[in-house]
Amino acid sequence: MHIETLAIHAGHQIDPATGAVVTPIYLSTTFERSSDGSYPQGYDYIRSNNPNREALEKCVSQLENGAVAAAFSSGSAATMSVFQALSPGAHVIAPNDIYSGTSLLLKDILAPWGLAVTFTDLTNPDLVAEAIQPNTKLIWIETPSNPLLKITDICQIAEIAHQANALCVCDNTWASPIVQTPLNLGADLVVHATTKYLGGHSDVLGGVVISKTENEFFQKIRKIQKVGGAVAAPFDCWLVMRGIQTLPYRMRAHSENALKVAEFLTNHPQVEQVYYPGLKHHSGHEIARKQMQLFGGMISCQVKGGKEKAFAVAAKVKIFTRATSLGGVESLIEHRASIEGKGTKTPENLLRLSIGLEHPDDLINDLAQALE
């Protein structure tokens, strides 16, 4: 089936009890046993499983062309589960411009636990190969990266990982399975913050890990999900499932709007640099063309005049909302360095834009008056 059809039907079924076309929300925390102590319906306790969570996992695994998936209460919990499935002493290679939340997990939580981490430029395969150690177990890809939208060649990095008998994991949050499918390009696992494009309406928190195969490593992730208990709530799963049904059409509009805004910013005299892989001058444009069907809805730009000018632009917008997060129908703007805080490597004059579904001319006019 085509992706548009999968987005609407994968994981959905007619309710056998009522014939309801929309899947009910199953809020029960526990389920009845048979007289022999078994669970004939396959559910025993909400932390172990739930019909809504099971439906979401089936849906997302199909969208990403994976075998199985595990849904979590947040994108960070999903990310954490992948690293926790490794053993203390394992070595991980990660991007030097990785999402700040993942960087904090690796440095402040997992390094003291015993995980060794090397941060390097994943857009340079030679540097990645040089970073391989005898105990390297996993290479973490984030493409496009946050917030500089660097593009990593998933096929090349997956090959390097597999030559070292390591896993290749891709955070596909910014792209979504509509824009790129890393499992088809050699990755072993994909991670999403379902809070973003999959949910699509800035009203639900969640995360998911999808595996290409149902292997021993994924079973460790599943056990962490069940025993650790950071599971996605039934209503949250239901909201994400609802959002996914319009995902293909939303991503097309996000991408179309973003390209128009990026082209406007590129030609504006008050803008120093624009980061968007859909622009032909972007350093990763050719790789993006190869592995992405669209270029996504995220843009970063550096404005002339430093930090003060960046704050002034963000203060003057009227349609864009000054807020963190991304992937919703509304357009957002933020001064990324101040969000990341102490130790950030993000330029002080950089603004990150999540381009929503408003008319692109209105978004361009809003930015034009703010940049005056």
User: Residue by residue, what is the 3-state secondary structure of the chain?
Assistant: CCHHHHHHHCCCCCCCCCCCCCCCCCCCCECCCCCCCCCCCCCCECCCCCHHHHHHHHHHHHHCCCCEEEEECCHHHHHHHHHHCCCCCCEEEEECCCCHHHHHHHHHHHHHHCCEEEEECCCCHHHHHHHCCCCEEEEEEECCCCCCCCCCCHHHHHHHHHHCCCEEEEECCCCHHHHCCHHHHCCCEEEECCCCCCCCCCCCCCEEEEECCCCHHHHHHHHHHHHHCCECCHHHHHHHHHHHCCHHHHHHHHHHHHHHHHHHHHCCCCEEEEECCCCCCCCCHHHHHHHCCCCCCEEEEEECCHHHHHHHHHHHCCCCEECCCCCCCCCEEEEHHHHHCCCCCCCCCEEEEECCCCCHHHHHHHHHHHHC
Catalytic annotation on 322?
Answer: no
Q: Can you tell me the distance from the alpha carbon of 11 to that of 19, in angstroms, rounded to the nearest whole number? A: 16
Residue 341: per-residue pLDDT:
87
Residue 342: per-residue pLDDT:
84
Residue 352: per-residue pLDDT:
98
Catalytic annotation on 196?
Answer: yes
pLDDT tens, the chain, 372 aa long: 999 999 999 999 999 989 999 999 999 999 999 999 999 999 999 999 999 999 999 999 999 999 999 999 999 999 999 999 999 999 999 999 999 999 999 999 999 999 999 999 999 999 999 999 999 999 999 999 999 999 999 999 999 999 999 999 999 999 999 999 999 999 999 999 999 999 999 999 999 999 999 999 999 999 999 999 999 999 999 999 999 999 999 999 999 999 999 999 999 999 999 999 999 999 999 999 999 999 999 999 999 999 999 999 999 999 999 999 999 999 999 999 999 988 898 999 999 999 999 999 999 999 999 999
**Tokens for 174?**
């910014």
Q: Can you tell me the distance from the alpha carbon of 343 to that of 312, in angstroms, rounded to the nearest whole number? A: 23
Catalytic annotation on 197?
Answer: no
Q: Among the options 39, 47, 121, 242, which is catalytic?
A: 47
Instruction: Please name which of 208, 261, 230 lies closest in space to residue 368, comparing C-alpha atoms.
Output: 261
Catalytic annotation on 47?
Answer: yes
Question: 24 phi and psi, to 5 degrees?
Answer: -65, 160
Residue 132: per-residue pLDDT:
98
Query: pTM of the prediction?
Result: 0.96
**Tokens for 156?**
């090349």
Amino acid at 221: I
**Tokens for 147?**
């917030």
Q: Among the options 99, 197, 275, 276, which is catalytic?
A: 99
Residue 101: per-residue pLDDT:
95
Residue 350: per-residue pLDDT:
98
